[in-house]
A and B are shown apart, each in its own frame.
Chain A
């Protein structure tokens, strides 16, 4: 066992910290509280920040060097994620492009596709959204019905995608579409579609936070060039599954940094409002303990990655842990803060340390997206515990 960062990784972290100190103008929470910050304004700020990060070579770090990678690996990526959260930097705007489509193109795309799509993706010139879920296909994603029918050199797309994160601001969407209605898994293809294509309509959906970070996308006889197919016809499911494995990397470490910082703020707030009784202290202590255990899970994953072990289905354990912990944390925060914890961030009375109300609401999304807690438990039962499967 050795949980020290290697010399090389420590050097990388120190260099990154120096760069963040010199380049991050103000913490993201301050930007969010700016009364002048509209949703569009925040997108602009995030676009600018992503360009800066890209310019410094911090995006797509574990990709091959010709696509902006720095020969780093999953360890550098995890360090970057954690340090960005520690510094309270703006969230990277094109996360879906970089985290999901990027690896899909690198592993399954053609050379022309990589050349065409990766540079503007990294530079935030083209923002991507993900067209996987449908009104009738959520956890049971393979039951998706959006169809792609080959007609000459084009696919003709019909159907509807939903919960499309960044849909309202995106330029492009990567779509899982059905090219064979009879083949459940082998009848799905991975297709790239420009959102201003005739026949494509994007409608924002208002979330329980009041924001419209996601939307729905309608396809009515939308024609997409065949050249926008990633991999072969019918390879979409396999590509999507390998790509989703990337989405569930070693993120506990970054979450522990983020929640740990908010926990410190909660403890300070409790002192400030005169809440220092034994019951409060026990609640805080339990959160501290769970956050430390989550950090230990993250350190373990990081060390395994550094040791050359690929992340396996155990990633489901981390996903359940951090998302369900965050819900308990945010609920406890509101309990301890009292009704003032429900004030929206633009209220002059709201606390400036953290947007407690928004985080309380947002935490409900975390146990649903990227594979719900229930799907994760199914994965653990099947692939880790190898329990007998019920005929479905």
Chain B
């Protein structure tokens, strides 16, 4: 038994961190937030593709690396540390779905970064039961999908419908949906398009697990970095003639931040391992990891703002970027309510 990453996995972590520090530092995320309409920069994106990151968990037959959810988690955690902009997880999930559906050629195109395909899942911008889900009938998809990630840049969409997943090619009529997280661009896409059925709804099973692990791992990176920034700050900021980190009220809050962060780490990597090992508890472990990570990240990133005081509430400081990304990830890739329902069903209750 071993919880620590293998040598190869640790190498992947180190090289990804070095790449992020060089090509995707948080300052670039800030630039993207303010200026880039696509929501990401083509340069680093191309490099991610060239390094094979977009095809990490895909079989070699689909142009992938033949790795698993653990490696996906390693990369997502690092991208979370810098709140990297761009449709990384979205592209990986779409490519995985295409590979599972036997569409290896298109999966390979996505993995190579030549075409961007993303999943379009939300039938309403709001929670609750959508009034009119997008339907597939007579070879056409009709209706509107909301919160399609990076819709404006997508070459094709994998649209979920009650009949199954349908592939729809651009061009689309896209309305931007600007949210609190300016480095995660979303759009509403109104569809009346010819569509090809890619597979039945249960095709999403493994994609749902990868989505939960990938998003939870990103959240892990987001909260780890928030905690690090906070620990740096409380050591240098002085009040009442001592570093504020010496105050017990603050220490206990930071102890709780660490508890949530490290517990998320246990849950994320255990879930990833379960998925790769084909363990029977995979569904439960993945759902639990994502549900817990969403709550934990909100608490940790919120506490980071609290412990910084007024400066923590400024646009200038980076903490809000983490706080916003945490909320976005919590509500996407299987929102907490979805994961709770999955966990309960998987536990047999």
**Digit string of B247-274 for contact with A (CB within 8 Å is 1, else 0)?**
1100110111011001111110111111
Using C-beta atoms within 8 Å of the partner chain, give the interface range for chain A.
35 or more
The residues of B that contact A1 with a CB separation of less than 8 Å are: 2-6, 9, 70, 269, 272-273
Known contacts A2-B1, A2-B2, A321-B263; A293 and B258 CB within 8 A of each other = no
At the interface with chain A, which of B98-106, B178-186, B197-205, B339-347?
Answer: B339-347
B134 lies within 8 A of chain A by Cβ = no
- Residues from chain A with a CB closer than 8 A to the CB of B4 are 1, 304, 307, 309
B343 in contact with A285 (CB, 8 Å)? yes
Chain A residue with minimal CB distance to B349? A267
Beta-carbon contact of A387 and B1 below 8 Å: no
**CB distance A288 to B349 under 8 Å?**
yes
Asked if residues B344 and A285 are in contact (CB atoms below 8 Å), the reply is: yes
Question: Would B273 and A3 count as touching, CB distance under 8 A?
Answer: yes
Whether A384 sits at the interface, judged by CB under 8 Å, is yes
A280-303 contacts to B (CB < 8 Å)? 281-282, 284-286, 288-290, 292-294, 296-297, 299-300, 302-303
User: Binary interface profile of B, 1-33, with partner A (CB < 8 Å = 1, else 0)?
Assistant: 111111001000000000000000000000000
Which residues on B sit within 8 Å (CB–CB) of A389?
246
Residue from B243, B255, B269, B291 within 8 A of A388 (CB atoms): B243
CA distance A5 to B344 in the complex (A): 26
Which B284-327 residues sit within 8 Å CB-CB of chain A? 284-285, 287-289, 291-292
Instruction: Mark out the residues of chain B between 40 and 90 whose CB falls within 8 Å of any chain A CB in the assembled complex.
Output: 70
Chain B residues in 8 Å Cβ range of A6: 1
Closest B residue to A267 by beta carbon equals B349
Contact of A142 with B by CB under 8 A: no
Query: Quick check: is B234 within 8 A (CB to CB) of the other chain?
Result: yes
Instruction: Report the minimal beta-carbon distance from A298 to chain B, rounded to whole angstroms.
Output: 8
A residues within 8 A CB of B3?
Answer: 1, 3, 299-300, 303-304, 307
**Secondary structure of the B contact surface, majority rule:** helix
A120 and B238 CA atoms in complex are apart in Å by 57
For B344, the chain A residues whose CB sits under 8 A away are: 281, 284-285, 288
Query: How far does the alpha carbon of A296 sit from the alpha carbon of B235 in the complex, in Å?
Result: 31
| A220 part of interface (Cβ distance < 8 Å) | no
A309 to B2 Cα, complex, angstroms: 10
Q: Is A353 an interface residue (CB 8 A)?
A: no
What residue of chain B has the Cβ atom nearest to residue A75's Cβ? B1
Closest to B342 in A: A285
Q: Does A227 contact B (CB under 8 A)?
A: no
CA distance A263 to B343 in the complex (A): 13
- Say if the beta carbon of B207 comes within 8 Å of chain A: no
Given contacts A4-B277, A388-B242, contact A289 B343 (CB under 8 A): yes
Q: Is B231 an interface residue (CB 8 A)?
A: yes
Task: Say how far A296's CB is from chain B's closest CB, in angstroms.
Answer: 4
Q: Which of B208-252 contact A (CB under 8 A)?
A: 231, 234-235, 242-243, 245-248, 251-252
What residues of A have a CB within 8 angstroms of the CB of B270 in the complex?
A: 3, 296, 299-300
Main secondary structure of the interface of A (DSSP, over half): helix
Any B CB within 8 A of the CB of A25: no
Contact B285 A292 (CB under 8 A): yes
Chain A residue contacts of B288, Cβ below 8 A: 288-289, 292-293, 296
User: A317, B263: Cβ atoms under 8 Å?
Assistant: yes
Q: Are B340 and A289 in contact (CB under 8 A)?
A: yes
User: Which residue of A75, A303, A320 has the most chain B CB atoms within 10 A of its CB atom?
Assistant: A303
Give Cα A2–Cα B3 distance, bound, in whole angstroms.
6
How far apart are the CA atoms of A297 and B70 in the complex, in Å? 17
Q: How far is the CA of A381 from the CA of B255 in the complex (A)?
A: 6
Residues of A within 8 A of B343 (CB): 285, 288-289, 292
Question: Which A residues touch B337, using CB under 8 A?
Answer: 282
Q: Considering residues B234, B251, B285, which has the most beta carbons from chain A within 10 angstroms of its beta carbon?
A: B251
Q: What CA separation (Å) do A1 and B248 show in the bound complex?
A: 36
Write the chain B residue with the least CB distance to A270.
B349
Which of B267, B273, B339 counts the most A-chain CB atoms under 10 A from its CB? B267
Residue A306 at the B interface, CB < 8 A? yes
Bound CA–CA A118/B6 (angstroms): 41
List of A residues within 8 angstroms of B234 by Cβ = 387
Taking a contact as CB atoms under 8 Å apart, the answer to whether A289 and B292 are in contact is yes
Taken together as a complex, chains A and B put the C-alpha atoms of A37 and B292 apart, in Å, by: 41
Query: CB-defined interface of A365-380 with B at 8 Å, one 1/0 digit per residue?
Result: 0000000001011101
Most chain-B CB neighbours within 10 Å: which of A267, A286, A374? A286
Collect the chain A residues with CB atoms within 8 Å of residue B5's CB.
1
A385→B255 contact, CB < 8 A: yes
For A307, what are the chain B residues with a Cβ–Cβ distance below 8 Å? 1-4
Judge whether A264 is part of the interface by a CB distance below 8 angstroms.
yes
- Shortest distance between the CB of A360 and any CB in chain B (Å): 20
Closest partner residue, chain B, to A308 (CB atom): B2
Provided the pairs A1-B273, A281-B344, A288-B288 are in contact, do residues A297 and B266 lie with their beta carbons within 8 angstroms?
yes
Contact with B along A1-32 (1 / 0, CB 8 A): 11111100100000000000000000000000
The answer to whether A40 has its CB under 8 Å from any CB of chain B is no
Considering residues B5, B248, B337, which has the most beta carbons from chain A within 10 angstroms of its beta carbon?
B248
Bound CA–CA A370/B241 (angstroms):
34
> From residue A264, how far is it (CB to closest CB) to chain B in Å?
7
Residue A39 lies at the interface, judged by CB distance under 8 Å to chain B? no
> By the criterion CB–CB under 8 Å, are B284 and A292 in contact?
yes
17 extra interface residue pairs, beta carbon distance < 8 Å, beyond A1-B5, A303-B3, A389-B246: A2-B1, A9-B1, A263-B347, A281-B341, A285-B291, A285-B340, A289-B340, A293-B267, A300-B265, A306-B1, A309-B4, A321-B263, A385-B231, A387-B251, A388-B245, A390-B242, A390-B248
Q: Which 7 A-B pairs have the closest CB atoms?
A: A292-B288, A381-B251, A267-B349, A285-B340, A306-B1, A303-B3, A296-B266
User: Which residues does A use to contact B, with CB under 8 Å?
Assistant: 1-6, 9, 75, 263-264, 267, 281-282, 284-286, 288-290, 292-294, 296-297, 299-300, 302-304, 306-307, 309, 314, 317, 320-321, 374, 376-378, 380-381, 384-385, 387-390
A-B CB contact pairs (8 Å), 21 listed = A1-B5, A3-B277, A264-B347, A289-B339, A292-B288, A292-B292, A296-B271, A299-B270, A300-B266, A300-B269, A304-B3, A376-B255, A377-B256, A380-B259, A381-B254, A381-B255, A384-B258, A385-B231, A387-B231, A388-B246, A390-B247
Q: Which residues of B contact A (CB under 8 A)?
A: 1-6, 9, 70, 231, 234-235, 242-243, 245-248, 251-252, 254-256, 258-259, 262-267, 269-274, 277, 284-285, 287-289, 291-292, 337, 339-341, 343-344, 347-349
